[in-house]
């Protein structure tokens, strides 16, 4: 049998946000390579006989670097294994998929990509706040606030990020939130722009910190989030119903 690699999005956190296709591929896999952020419940949906290997930065190996992951994928495919590379969220958004696909294509390995619900969509659904809106949010933009060295990237068009008519979602945004807010202010962003931090979007222990560009850094520091965080910035993120109300209403709506 010929080996293959399927890059598969695991969705934002809630195991029920896995797609039917991701489930089918998981149930057909010989080997599952999975990131830190993938819930154990999702791994449990995979084929029982599959070998499951953590390849995240907090995986059991002393160093699981991108090159090592690529080498492992090529080795497994050469052995004829059907491999699922399970990534948090969607593989094509801040997932370093282009490096993996380029190496796999160069090695002549059959690949496929299955999209997943990216964290921004999960957070918006939890909050019941649309990411786009006529007039107030015609443009939606995503950046990651975490460069190679762990600091805020330098090469971002900050003016575009500070646009009051756009919604912005910042992935991996908790650690560099202070620098981000400083940058946006320096590029003309209104300090009263609504800004939220969402930790572990769509998970049972999801937390939301509501504020403005001016107030969010102090509020976030006080609550010291430890899970993966998104920062949502823009006029559309004002108001909305409170988290508790949403949860109660969602319980009725889902029941």
Spell out the residues 6+ positions from residue 160 whose beta carbon is closer than 8 angstroms to its own: 141, 166
81 carries an active-site annotation? no
35 carries an active-site annotation? yes
Which H or E run contains 111?
strand 110-114
Compute the least distance from the CB of residue 183 to a second copy, in Å: 13
- Identify residues 132-171 at the interface with a second copy (CB under 8 A): 132-135, 138-144, 148, 153, 155-157, 159-161, 163, 165-166
From residue 214 to residue 253, the character string flagging contacts with a second copy as x (rule: CB under 8 A) and all else as - is ----------------------x----x------xxx-xx
**Sheet architecture: strand order including 4-9:** 51-54, 31-34, 82-87, 4-9, 110-114
Which lies closer to a second copy via its Cβ, residue 38 or residue 166? 166
Strand partners, 144: 171
Compute the least distance from the CB of residue 57 to a second copy, in Å: 16
Tell me which of 57, 67, 71, 75 is the catalytic residue. 57
Cβ atoms of 179 and 151 within 8 Å: the answer is yes
Answer yes or no whether residue 176 interacts with a second copy by CB under 8 A.
no
**Distance of alpha carbon 44 from alpha carbon 115, whole angstroms:** 20
Compute the least distance from the CB of residue 36 to a second copy, in Å: 19
- 170 token code pair: 């910042």
Active-site annotation, residues: 35, 57
């Amino acid at each position: 049998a010929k080996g293959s690699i399927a890059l598969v999005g695991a969705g934002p956190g809630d195991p029920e946000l896995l797609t039917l296709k991701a489930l089918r591929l998981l149930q057909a896999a010989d080997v599952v390579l999975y990131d830190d952020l993938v819930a154990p419940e999702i791994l449990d949906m995979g084929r029982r006989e599959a070998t499951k290997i953590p390849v995240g930065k907090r995986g059991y190996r002393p160093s699981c670097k991108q090159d090592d992951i690529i080498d492992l994928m090529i080795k497994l495919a050469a052995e004829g294994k059907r491999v699922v590379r399970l990534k948090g969220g969607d593989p094509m958004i801040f997932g370093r998929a282009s490096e993996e696909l380029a190496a796999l294509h160069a090695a002549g390995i059959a690949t496929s990509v299955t999209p997943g619900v990216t964290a921004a969509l999960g957070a918006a659904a939890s909050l019941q706040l649309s990411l786009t809106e006529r007039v107030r949010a015609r443009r939606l933009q995503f950046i990651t606030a975490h460069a190679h060295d762990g600091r805020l990237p330098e090469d971002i068009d900050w003016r575009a990020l500070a646009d009051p008519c756009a919604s912005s979602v910042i992935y991996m945004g908790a650690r560099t939130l202070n620098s981000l807010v400083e940058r946006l202010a320096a590029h003309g962003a209104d300090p009263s722009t609504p800004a939220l931090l969402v930790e572990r979007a769509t998970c049972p222990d999801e937390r939301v910190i509501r504020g403005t560009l001016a107030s969010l850094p102090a509020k976030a520091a006080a609550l010291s989030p430890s899970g993966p965080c998104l920062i949502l910035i823009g006029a559309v993120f004002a108001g909305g119903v409170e988290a508790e109300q949403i949860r109660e209403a969602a319980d009725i709506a889902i029941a």
